[in-house]
Chain A
Amino acid sequence: MANFGFKISTPRSIDLDNADRTLYEQMLEMVPSYRYCIGCGGCTATCSAGQFTDFNIRKTHFLFSRRQYDKLTTDMLPEVDLNKCMLCGKCSLVCPRGVNTRGLIVEMRKLLLN
């Protein structure tokens, strides 16, 4: 394609009506407190792995709850690589909503693998 010095962005709107909800529903069943998340980012700020890398749990949770599973698997960005988690538990302890964040991470890893 010719280089015009600019490009057209791919549309970023998410069609929630037609999105595949199965994984998300399964997750809510296994970790019911997931629905309490307000996306404050406290988990990401305190994350032990986040001190050494650009790992971002909040972003991971967001992509998952928007059913953008492919962004977490096929075109995985480095900051949403859940394998970086050390399961140290600081995120659970700082969460103001009492979300079981560690359960979320382990279950998400399992769900996304299949």
Chain B
Amino acid sequence: MFSLFVIPFCLGVLALLAISVIKYYNWIKGFDRMQQTLVRKNILSWKFLPAIWEMFRECLLHWRITKHNVVLGYMHRSLAFGWFLLIVVGAVQAVLAYPNGHPLYVGIFFNFFEPHHPVAPNAALPFMANLMDALLLYVFTGLTLAMVKMFWSKLLGMKRTTRHNMTDRVAKFALWCIFPLRLLAEGATSALYHNGGFLVVAVGNVMNGLGLAGTVFEYHLWVLYSLALGIFFSLMPFTRYMHIFTEVLLIYFRKMGLRDNDKKSGYTMFELSACSRCGICIDGCPINRELGVTDIQGVYLLQAIRNKDLRNRAESIANMCMVCGRCSAECPVGIDLEPIRRQVRAERVKAIDNPDGLQYLKSLHHFNAVGRVAYFAGCMSHLTPGIPEAMEQIFRAAGQSYWYMDEEGTVCCGRPLQQQGLVREAQALRDRNKSMIKKSKATMLMTSCPICYQSFSKDYKLDIPVMHHSQYIDMLLKTGKIKVEHSDMRVTYHDPCELGRGCGVYDEPRRVVAAAATLIPTHEEREKSLCCGYNLGNISIDGSQQQLIRDAALRNLMEPNPDMIATACPMCKKAMTRGNNAQVNDIAEIIAKQLIEN
């Protein structure tokens, strides 16, 4: 069973396999030491099972995209799952028809070989032929939606779609050609030999009616189909379609516990290639929505890093970002963009990353706080003195002895430097704060600033618990250490990026607000919350641009016409207090006001 036309397909598959294996081998070799240890430890563990489930759910069914938009999810699912089933069912069909062995490509070109090579008698074969046609029809519905999306993306829930480069477009064209060519080729065979299922026979009859039937015509269509497959497969490793296999591996590695670090590693390469450039990250981005900058979103960052000619572009893209985390929260592949951005930024500021200038921190005195809660208000809280005051009031009401660690003046937690890629300087700040906390022998660290909270809980690796004040107040309310009077004030809550998407703290501040006032939901909240515009992750935009982003967040919060806006971040509070008639308060201030003295 051989015909010359299968050669382009076979070459394409061989090229795809060879290049993918070489790439994956190099990336796995490029894992850093920690990643290697994790792989060795977990490769044969039970983590394989949930990984397989996630691979099935995300790579084939595209569950996360469906949650984003049902029609968009259907489009991706019908193309991925439909094609996957076409390949699997085709292979089964070939095995049933030729149980004594056959070349692998027969599964793909079954209808061509069937009339010339007698098949084993099997009652399931007509059913399989119809099933194959039904699957092809399923893929066609997705293909139609994909074409509609090209001209009218809003129908599929996307305001903006990705601008693709030339190779991506050629590969997409080849992909789009595969399925119509398959139907035409099978139809032409059916016109001569009357094989195939309902759809193929119908196409064959039309061809007969038009007088198109003929072996030369048929053969040319099979050649074109094989060429389309060959071109697509050989281009795959160099285009966005590399995500098809890479996402599968990425899910497995992520389940093993691998994460991105400060340095670009083999794991980063997997993340870069797992991006399908679907463009879902574009619509949510505040820089796009409010400032109209549409070429700096996650998809373009990853594209620029992957493409050697665009390296310089990557720097400015990475710099423009707010690091609000909205894109990562919406990414259907779950790519963690923040560390990747930081790697690019670090490259840019490598020459000035010099901790010598921070020597003065070493001379600061230490403090003894045995058995007390260390309270780190944070830089920004010093601009909103109401928050530390409210916290002191709450500490007193709860009878908790505390140590106001940065009352005299704050040493930054290090996260702003870290976000800009100045990692050595950030480490110097962390070392100083860590030794101060350690020597004080405090029992717990509590902070009022979500930026500090994220830094202390993730980067410091302290041996005492770290809490944000929303969690701490929630705990005090739960254990009954403080009591508050409920007021009928209507309050909307603003999720700070660093606390919500950054640390997953959504419920505690809401419970705290609900204890003292009536909490009303807003349109875009929790994972979808809008950045206040002043996020420290960005050092490229100025005050007027920050205000535009802030105003959008305020519009969302003011829509239900609340009496007050609550937030849990001094910076969000400071940002939103200006340019707004409504009162903006931190949850600590709301609680302090409603405290019932024992």
Residues A99 and B539 in contact, CB atoms below 8 Å apart: no
A51 nearest CB neighbor, chain B only = B409
Given known contacts A33-B543, A52-B361, A87-B417, is B349 in contact with A93 (CB within 8 Å)? no
The interface residues of chain A lying within 8 Å CB-to-CB of B349 are 106, 110
Chain B, 155-191, CB within 8 A of any chain A CB: none
Q: Is B8 an interface residue (CB 8 A)?
A: no
| Contact count band on A | 20 to 34
Please determine whether A95 and B543 come into contact, CB atoms closer than 8 angstroms.
yes
Name B's A-contacting residues (CB within 8 A).
349, 351-352, 354, 356-358, 360-361, 364, 379-380, 382-383, 408-412, 414, 416-417, 420, 422, 425, 429, 534, 536, 539-544, 546-547, 571, 574-575
For A81, the chain B residues whose CB sits under 8 A away are 357
Contacts of B410 in A (CB 8 A): 48, 51, 88
Least CB separation from A33: chain B residue: B542
Interface residues in chain A, defined as those with a beta carbon under 8 Å from any beta carbon in chain B: 31-33, 36, 46, 48-49, 51-53, 81-90, 92-95, 97-100, 102-103, 106, 109-110, 113
**Is A87 a contact of B360 with CB atoms below 8 Å?**
no
Distance between B383 CB and nearest chain A CB, rounded to angstroms = 6
6 pairs across A/B with beta carbons < 8 Å? A90-B382, A98-B547, A100-B539, A100-B542, A106-B539, A110-B352
Q: How many Å lie between the Cα of A92 and that of B408 in the bound state?
A: 21
CA distance A110 to B349 in the complex (A): 7
Say which residue of A87, A90, A98 sits within 8 Å of B546 (CB atoms): A98
Contact partner of A99 (CB less than 8 A), chosen from B425, B543, B575, is B543
CB distance from A64 to the nearest CB of B (A): 15
Closest to B541 in A: A100
Q: Which of A51, A85, A99 contacts B542 (CB 8 A)?
A: A99
Q: Total A-B pairs in contact (CB under 8 Å)?
A: 105
Contact, CB under 8 Å: A93 / B380: yes
Q: Beyond the given A89-B571, A106-B349, A106-B539, could you list 20 further A-B residue pairs with CB under 8 A, ordered by the A residue number? A: A31-B542, A33-B542, A46-B383, A48-B412, A51-B409, A52-B411, A83-B357, A84-B357, A84-B360, A86-B358, A86-B379, A86-B417, A87-B420, A88-B416, A94-B383, A97-B543, A98-B542, A102-B416, A109-B352, A113-B351
Chain B residue contacts of A98, Cβ below 8 A: 542-544, 546-547
A90 and B379 in contact (CB under 8 A), knowing A48-B410, A106-B349, A113-B351?
A: yes
Write out the residue numbers on chain B whose beta carbons fall within 8 Å of the beta carbon of A31: 542
A32 touches B542 (CB 8 A): yes
Q: In the bound complex, do residue B536 and residue A89 qualify as a contact, i.e. CB atoms below 8 Å apart?
A: yes
Closest to B352 in A: A109
Q: In the complex the two chains form, what is the Cα distance from A36 to B543 in whole Å? A: 11
Give the residues in chain B near A113, CB-CB below 8 Å.
351-352
Taking CB atoms, residues of chain A closer than 8 Å to B416 are 86-89, 102
Which of A46, A83, A88, A97 is in CB contact (< 8 Å) with B354?
A83
A36 — which chain B residues lie within 8 A by C-beta?
Answer: 542
Q: Which of B351, B358, B539, B574 contacts A103 (CB 8 A)?
A: B539
User: Using Cβ atoms and an 8 Å threshold, which residues of chain A touch B536?
Assistant: 87-89, 102
- Judged by DSSP, the binding face of A is helix
Contacting pair A48 B379 (CB below 8 A): yes
Alpha-carbon distance A90/B575, docked complex (angstroms):
12
A98 to B542, CA, bound (A): 6
Contact between A52 and B574 (Cβ–Cβ < 8 Å)? no
- Give the chain A neighbours of B534 by CB distance below 8 A: 89, 92-93
Instruction: Enumerate the 9 nearest inter-chain pairs by beta-carbon distance, A residue then B residue, closest first.
Output: A98-B543, A83-B357, A51-B409, A33-B542, A86-B412, A88-B379, A88-B412, A103-B539, A87-B416
Verify A100–B540 contact, CB threshold 8 A: yes
Q: Which single member of A53, A97, A106 contacts B420 (CB below 8 Å)?
A: A106
Contact A48 B420 (CB under 8 A): no
Contact residues in B for A109 (Cβ distance below 8 Å): 352
* Most A CB within 10 A of own CB, among B351, B379, B534, B541: B379
Given known contacts A83-B357, A93-B534, A110-B352, A48 and B543 CB-to-CB distance under 8 angstroms: no
CA of A85 to CA of B360 in the docked complex: distance in angstroms?
11
The answer to whether B382 touches A87, judged by C-beta atoms less than 8 angstroms apart, is no
Q: Let me know if A93 and B352 touch, CB within 8 A.
A: no
Known: A83-B358, A110-B352. A89 touches B380 (CB 8 A): yes
Residues of the B chain whose Cβ atoms lie less than 8 Å from the Cβ of A92: 534, 543
**Given A33-B543, A97-B543, do A87 and B409 touch, yes or no (CB 8 Å)?**
no
Bound CA span A103–B320, Å? 11
Q: How far, in angstroms, from A83 to B422 measured CA to CA in the complex? A: 11
- With most chain A CB atoms within 10 A of its CB, the pick from B364, B411, B414, B534 is B411
- A93-B383, A106-B352, A113-B352 as given contacts; A52 in contact with B540, CB under 8 Å: no
Knowing A52-B364, A52-B409, A93-B383, the reply to whether A84 touches B540 (Cβ < 8 A) is no
User: Smallest CB-CB separation from B361: which chain A residue?
Assistant: A52
Contacts of A84 in B (CB 8 A): 357-358, 360
- Assess the A93–B571 pair: CB atoms within 8 A: yes
Least Cβ distance of B529 to chain A in Å? Answer: 20
For residue B408, give the distance in angstroms from its CB to the closest CB of chain A: 7
Q: How far is the CB of A14 from chain B (nearest CB, A)?
A: 27
Give the Cβ gap from A60 to chain B, nearest Cβ, in Å: 13
Return chain B residues, CB-CB under 8 Å to A100.
539-543
**B429 contacts across to A, CB distance below 8 A:** 86
Residues of the B chain whose Cβ atoms lie less than 8 Å from the Cβ of A103:
539-540, 542
Rounded to whole angstroms, the CA-CA distance of A67 and B360 in the bound complex is 28
Query: How distant is the Cα of A33 from the Cα of B356 in the complex, in angstroms?
Result: 29
Given the complex of chains A and B, what is the CA–CA distance between A81 and B355 in angstroms? 12
Chain B residues contacting A94 (CB-CB under 8 Å) are 383
Instruction: List the A residue with the shortest CB-CB distance to B544.
Output: A98
* B383 lies within 8 A of A86 (CB): no
CB distance from B565 to the nearest CB of A (A): 18
Query: With A and B bound together, what is the CA distance between A109 and B382 in angstroms?
Result: 26
